[in-house]
Amino acid sequence: MSKNKPLNVAQKIIKTHLVEGKMEPGEPIALKIDQTLTQDATGTMAYLHFENMGVPRVQTEFSISYVDHNTLQIGGPNNANDHIYLQTVAAKYGIYFSKAGNGICHQVHLERFAQPGKTLLGSDSHTPTAGGIGSLAIGAGGMDIALAMAGEPFHLFMPKIVGVHLKGKLQPFVTAKDVILEMLRRVGVKGGKGKIFEYYGEGVKTLTVPERATITNMGTETGATTSIFPSDEITFAFMKAQAREHQWRPLQADPGAEYDEYMEIDLSTLEPLVALPHSPGNVKPVREVKNLKVHQVVIGSCTNSSYKDLVAVAEIFKRTGAKVHPEVSAAIAPGSRQILLQLIEEGYYEVFLKAGFRILESACGPCIGMGFNPPSKGVSVRTFNRNFEGRSGTKDAMVYLVSPETAAATAITGYLTDPRDLGLDPIEITLPSRFVIDDTMIYAPAVDPDEVEVIKGPNIKYVAFYDPVPEKYEGEVLIKVGDNISTDHILPGGASILPLRSNIPAISEFTFHYLDPTFVQRAKEKGGGIIVGGENYGQGSSREHAAIAPRYLGVRVVLTKSFARIHRANLINFGILPLTFVNPEDYDKIEQGDRLEVIIGDLKPGSKAIVKNLTKNLEFEAVNDLSEREVEILKSGGILGYIKRKFEKKVAAGV
């Protein structure tokens, strides 16, 4: 890339944060990280990793720990113990702490901390929400967050940057959620892999920051590294309403800036859309899904719980005078305490109560199967970002993803309903010129860390791995799965499993729990083994437990047609070798129970492995797409061993 070449927004941020590598698509690069965020389901492990590194204080400009997943404190003291650990470890090591009840990490971070031009790394796959304010925000596993807090750069392959030209203006009752559903309809759940979606054009000016954040949030479901909007006068107005105008900076693509690929969406041509079970990419117009009787409607999540989202719902009920349909169970979960206070101040909270909604805590809740599970074989219409089978907490439920306006119309009629069919005049919503600002549930770190005792309950059990990947590995195929297997499939969430996130031995018992309840027993009996998968293996959540648990059970090789970005990185961090078939048709030559010998040899970037199917007497090739650094990590047994060796070399060199 030439020195004076015009840059787009993503390139500008990457250039100013580039520590290693070249800004050429596919090249390994490393970025300086300004901010980190964690949530409690992934944060407990991230901070245990950080403590194990021996760094006395976080090295980032700003790091914060949110509690928004395991807030219910059910099944004993596990949740409460984790909360105490998170609060004390934050106080000691220079990390801010957002208490349970303060809100969903992405919504609160957008409101109070995200800044244009900054890099943000979060231990949650929906961290790109902050792209709505012009931050280069990327989701990663907890180990990568710990490394960033320790001052290490974040390593990835330089993504292609796709320019998405937005034209026109959304029509009444068509929303930002419909924009990202249209993106998913076009590219599917893996079409964004290795890409950054950057939105530009005249249509951008018609979208508020919360609307932009809805689009960048759910861009994750395309497999994209992140999504981003420019920072403009609309961004300034939002930050001023948050009393943060001093943190604003303009950030636009240079005139003549180019993109690796281009897309165009005419906002004025869109209509209300819905993602059908069981994939965010299974998108159709609402009007085409006829006579779908609905049992449950839930409005919230980090995608659609903003002030604008909830006021739109309240105005629909206020103007129609309607109540929630008698045969529908409906709930609203405001994204943050700030939004909840704003709704109360403006009288909308009362509208929801009188309409028959249940008001849930400002937390992730039903989105991760923590409460409000649908009935058996029930139809649940949700404003969330994922509808993977079983994620709702009910395995045979049918979950549909829609906008808040579509959810409101559906709650009124009892059937999936296009909100335009209610016959209402257009609803114009203006964001407050000043939001209710109350940060009393966000705690700064201790001034004197020596006065803080980090408290770990008995449920917190850390496990570290240091055994290098062998030159030859023999094992049984413990499970063979198909395409688009998510981390929810590998290591589920839900009320009975999420509270175990800080206890590796305990949570490992739930590996592939819903796909194959006998997996764990087989893995233990066989002393580990190999996992075989199809395309896009490990899509969805950033949960590194989907790598840690198989590693704890002895898995050392995962062989697939292709991997999702974050899960691939997590496998490497914990010493599991990710291999892909040279010939995808060889996938069909393997069955569960086959015994494979994988001859790896001297592991190098792009080196091939010989795979011998000893059961069927067949042989084929697999390949890695590792960088030099990733090879060294695997030869060190995982990232902890790598960091340890790196530190020892520095000491030996007298650095």
Q: Over the stretch 195-236, which tens digit does the pLDDT of each residue have?
A: 999 999 999 999 999 999 999 999 999 999 999 999 999 999
Domain-located, residue 240? yes
Please compute the mean of the pLDDT values over residues 11-40 and round it to a whole number.
97
pLDDT, mean of residues 226-251: 98
567 and 492 co-located in one domain: yes
Residue 453 CB partners (closer than 8 Å, separation 6+): 88
**Across 16-22, average pLDDT:** 97
441 part of a folded domain: no
- 302's tokens: 């980090």
* Residue 26: exposure state from Cβ atoms within 10 A (0-12, 13-18, ≥19): exposed
Q: What is the 3-state secondary structure (H, E, C) of 292-326?
A: CECCEEEECCCCCCCHHHHHHHHHHHHHHCCCCCC
Cβ atoms of residues 401 and 280 within 8 Å: yes
Same domain? 399 vs 518: no
What pLDDT does residue 650 have? 67
Catalytic pick among 34, 40, 82, 124: 124
Query: Each residue of 302-330: pLDDT tens digit?
Result: 999 999 999 999 999 999 999 999 999 99
Q: Rounded distance, CA 159 to CA 223, Å?
A: 12
b/e map of 615-634 (b: 16 or more CB within 10 Å)?
Answer: eeeeebebebebbebbbebb
CA distance 479 to 241: 52
User: Could you give the number of structural domains in the chain?
Assistant: 3
Structure tokens at 481: 């799965």
pLDDT at 385: 95
Among 256-260, 368-372, 574-578, 630-634, the range scoring the smallest mean pLDDT is 368-372
For residues 446 and 577, is the Cβ–Cβ distance under 8 A?
Answer: no
Q: 589-625: per-residue pLDDT in tens?
A: 999 999 999 999 999 999 999 999 999 999 999 999 9
Number of Cβ within a 10 Å radius of residue 446: 15
Q: Is residue 110 part of a domain?
A: yes
Q: Which two tokens stand for residue 111?
A: 């409101």
pLDDT at 192: 96
The candidate with the shortest Cα–Cα distance to 235, out of 307, 131, 108, is 131
Task: Please list, in sequence order, all residues whose beta carbon lies within 8 angstroms of the beta carbon of residue 426, skipping any fewer than 6 positions away.
Answer: 172, 173
547 Cβ neighbours under 8 A, 6+ residues apart: 141, 567, 570, 571, 573, 574, 576
Residue 284: is it exposed, middle or buried by C-beta count within 10 angstroms (0-12/13-18/19+)?
middle
Strands 595-599 and 577-581: unpaired
Q: Which one is catalytic: 135, 403, 541, 542?
A: 541
Q: What is the pLDDT of residue 29?
A: 97
543, 551, 556, 567: the catalytic one is: 543
Give the DSSP per-residue string, 231-253: B-HHHHHHHHHTT-GGG---B-P
314-353: burial string, b at 16+ Cβ within 10 Å, e else: bbbbbeeebebbeebbbbbbbbbbbbbbbbeeeebbebbe
- Of residues 643 and 75, more confidence is placed in 643
- Is residue 611 within 8 A of residue 622, CB to CB? The reply is yes
Whether cis (ω within 30° of 0) applies to the bond prior to 155 is no
Assign residue 608 the CATH number of its domain.
3.20.19.10
CA distance linking residue 281 with residue 186, whole number of Å: 8
| Domain of residue 395, CATH code | 3.30.499.10
d(Cα 113, Cα 440) in Å, to the nearest integer?
15
Residue 457 lies in a domain: no
- Residue 607 and residue 598 in contact, taking contact as beta carbons nearer than 8 Å: no
Residues 301, 227: one domain?
Answer: no
- Measured CA to CA in angstroms, residue 319 lies from 311, 408, 495 at distances of 12, 12, 37
437 domain residue, yes or no: no
Question: Which structural domain range is residue 242 located in?
Answer: 9-269
For 57-172, strand residue ranges (E) read: 62-66, 96-98, 119-122, 136-139, 154-157, 160-167
Clarify whether 543 is annotated catalytic: yes
Three-state helix/strand/coil letters over 8-44: CHHHHHHHHHEEECCCCCCCEEEECCCEEEEEHHHHH
Q: Which of 337, 386, 420, 489 is catalytic?
A: 386
Report whether pLDDT(655) > 60.
no
- 645 belongs to the catalytic site: no
Verify that 592 and 558 share a domain, yes or no: yes
% of the chain residues with pLDDT over 90: 89
Q: Helix 176-187 crosses helix 209-218 at what angle (to 10 degrees)?
A: 30
Of 269, 293, 324, at which residue does a domain stop?
269
How much is the pTM?
Answer: 0.92
285 and 242, same domain (yes or no): no
Pairing of strands 18-20, 329-332: unpaired
Tokens representing 17 are 């944060």
Judge if 416 and 331 occupy the same domain. Answer: yes
Q: At 391, list the tokens.
A: 């994620």
Residue 70 clears pLDDT 60, i.e. is over it: yes
Asked if the structure places residue 464 within a domain, the reply is: no
Above 90 in pLDDT, residue 53? Answer: no
Residues 154 and 198 in one domain: yes
- Is residue 169 predicted with pLDDT exceeding 80? yes
For the stretch 94-147, pLDDT in tens is 999 999 999 999 999 999 999 999 999 999 999 999 999 999 999 999 999 999
pLDDT for position 645: 77
Same domain, 17 and 139: yes
Residues 96 and 237 in one domain: yes
C-alpha to C-alpha distances, 621 to 271, 537, 555, 607, 610, nearest whole angstrom: 47, 19, 20, 10, 5
Residues 361 and 485 in one domain: no
Residue 15, amino acid = K
pLDDT at 2 over 70: no
Residue 434 belongs to some domain of the structure: no
| One domain, residues 482 and 366 | no
| 69 in active site | yes
Residue 33 class from Cβ within 10 Å (0-12 exposed, 13-18 middle, 19+ buried)?
buried
Q: Half-sphere exposure (CA, 13 Å, Cβ side) for 654? A: 0
Contacts of 195 (CB under 8 A, 6+ apart): 159, 160, 161, 162, 222, 224, 225, 260, 261
Given 269, 284, 310, the domain boundary residue is 269
Note the pLDDT of residue 542.
Answer: 82
pLDDT-derived band at 465, boundaries 50, 70, 90? confident
Domain-located, residue 460:
no
- Positions of E strands within 535-648: 555-560, 577-581, 595-599, 608-613, 618-623
217 sits in which H/E element: helix 209-218
Smallest CA-to-CA distance from 377 within 395, 402, 400, 389 is with 395
Q: In the annotation, is 126 catalytic?
A: no
Q: Once rounded to an integer, what is the mean pLDDT over residues 576-589?
A: 97
C-alpha dihedral, 555 to 547 to 385 to 210, nearest 10°: -160
Instruction: Report pLDDT for 499.
Output: 83
Average pLDDT over residues 65-72: 92
Catalytic site includes residue 396: no
pLDDT at 474 over 60: yes
Those residues with Cβ within 8 angstroms of residue 75's Cβ, 6 or more apart along the chain or in another chain: 495, 496, 499
Set 40, 49, 63, 69: catalytic member? 69
Quote the percentage of the chain above a pLDDT of 70.
98
Q: What is the pLDDT of residues 480-529, one digit of tens each?
A: 999 999 999 999 887 778 888 889 999 999 999 989 999 999 999 999 99
* Domain end (from 422, 440, 457): 422
State the catalytic residue, choosing from 34, 68, 418, 586. 68
Question: Do residues 228 and 367 both lie within one domain?
Answer: no
| Mean per-residue pLDDT over the chain, rounded | 95
Q: Which two tokens stand for residue 563?
A: 């991997």
| pLDDT exceeds 60 at position 1 | no
How far CA 214 is from CA of 128, 129, 248, 385, 412, in Å, comes to: 10, 7, 20, 9, 24
**How open is the CA angle 60-301-289, to the nearest 5 degrees?**
140
